[in-house]
Amino acid sequence: MRVLVTGGAGYIGTHTLIELIAAGHEPYVVDNFDNAVPEALNRVSELVQRPIPFTDCDVRDRKALTEVCETFRPEAVIHFAGLKAVGESEERPRDYYDVNVAGTLTLLAAMEAVGCRRIVFSSSATVYGVPEYLPYDEAHPTVPLSVYAKTKHMAEGILTDWQRANPEGAVMLLRYFNPVGAHVSSRIGEDPQGIPNNLMPFISQVAVGRRDKLMVFGDDYDTADGTGVRDYIHVTDLARAHVKAIEFAEHTAGAEVFNIGTGQGYSVLDMIRAFEKAADRPIPYEVTDRRPGDVAAMEADASRAAKHLGWRAELGLDAMCESVWGWQSANPQGYEEGR
């Protein structure tokens, strides 16, 4: 299928391009490089040994997006483009609603202009809010707490209503848990700008010597070792879930929600130990206060994706840590060297 990939130069987008091409699909990227660099697409191109066509374009630019759609004629869209930092979303709510919500509406208008009715959307497990029970299944109540989570929840609602008004259309809402890992080649991976917000890139920057130590946000949670538990999912498994979702959308109509996780939770201390093993070096850390807004534990019931998409996670914690270390040690400054 011809697949328009918004935000395709980003962390999850680049990994998905590789899996899309491996499965015989034809991607076209739009990205405004707000949180990515063209070098990431050069590296994908090198890995798949073909050019990756792209347009430097904002998803809020309806005219430019429509022109891309009119030229490329996508049969499906994967919509990654968005802002994703929970803390920043509280400081810049207008930007988050604008890009994540208004950007999604603009994209739908551009799709309608060319009769494209299939979309896979990057949602997040944060839409659930505080767990009433674990693991979360897709029927768990959604009570989004942060501005970021609210933008994802609103976009889910917009897409669901849009599908109801376009009954031949297919909307796949993928609720990712905690994506980590890098491509097995070590050529692409997560490259956060500034101080990483998330655990895995922080640990890997400590391991490579860019930061002195990790701050562990609380060890008094009601979990086995007191530190926060999350369902980490390898980005390559996540990328494959997108391929399964567009292929499912090709033959189905409807709006569907899928949790994308492994079902296995790990604590912060588990992650430190696994990374120490993969990198064969100690990760200095210090326990500090809880981070506001964090929950004790999150785990996915991903059985719905297994049943309907035929997808399940295959890569475990060691593969996640080894691939991150491969990427970080080969690219200590991320894509910087190649820019």
Segment near ligand WQD (CB under 6 A); pick from 72-80, 194-202, 243-251, 327-335: 194-202
Is 10 an interacting residue with respect to ligand NAD (CB under 6 A)?
yes
CB of 229 to ligand WQD, least distance (A): 7
Q: Of residues 61-100, which lie at the interface with ligand NAD (CB under 6 A)?
A: 80-84, 99
Asked if 265 and 43 touch (Cβ cutoff 8 Å), the reply is no
Task: Rank residues 11 and 28 by Cβ distance to ligand WQD and give the closer one.
Answer: 11
Q: Of residues 217-236, which lie at the interface with ligand WQD (CB under 6 A)?
A: 217, 228, 230
Would you name the residues annotated as active-site residues?
148
Q: Of residues 115-144, which lie at the interface with ligand NAD (CB under 6 A)?
A: 122, 124
Rounded to whole angstroms, how far apart are CA atoms 54 and 252? 28
Segment near ligand WQD (CB under 6 A); pick from 97-105, 134-142, 162-170, 192-200: 192-200
CA 50 from chain centre, in angstroms, equals 24
Segment near ligand WQD (CB under 6 A); pick from 66-74, 98-106, 129-137, 195-203: 195-203
Task: Rank residues 192 and 226 by Cβ distance to ligand NAD and give the closer one.
Answer: 192
CB of 21 to ligand WQD, least distance (A): 25
215 binds, among ligand WQD, ligand NAD, none (CB under 5 to 8 A by kind): ligand WQD
The single-letter code of the amino acid at 196 is P
Closest-CB residue for ligand WQD?
228
Rounded to whole angstroms, how far apart are CA atoms 74 and 199? 36
Token couple for 51: 């050019």
What binding mask, one character per residue, do residues 68-87 give for ligand WQD by CB under 6 A, x or -?
----------------x-x-
Asked if 106 and 67 touch (Cβ cutoff 8 Å), the reply is no
Is 206 an interacting residue with respect to ligand WQD (CB under 6 A)?
no
Residue 109: how many CB atoms within 10 A of its CB?
Answer: 12
Backbone φ and ψ for 74, nearest 5 degrees, come out as -65, 145
CB of 225 to ligand NAD, least distance (A): 23
Is 182 an interacting residue with respect to ligand NAD (CB under 6 A)?
no
Q: How big is the CA angle at 124 (ends 119 and 125), to the nearest 5 degrees?
A: 135
321 binds, among ligand WQD, ligand NAD, none (CB under 5 to 8 A by kind): none
SS3 per-residue string spanning 42-110? HHHHHHHCCCCCEEECCCCCHHHHHHHHHHHCCCEEEECCCCCCHHHHHHCHHHHHHHHHHHHHHHHHH
Q: What dihedral angle (degrees, nearest 10) is formed by the CA atoms of 131, 132, 134, 138? A: -80
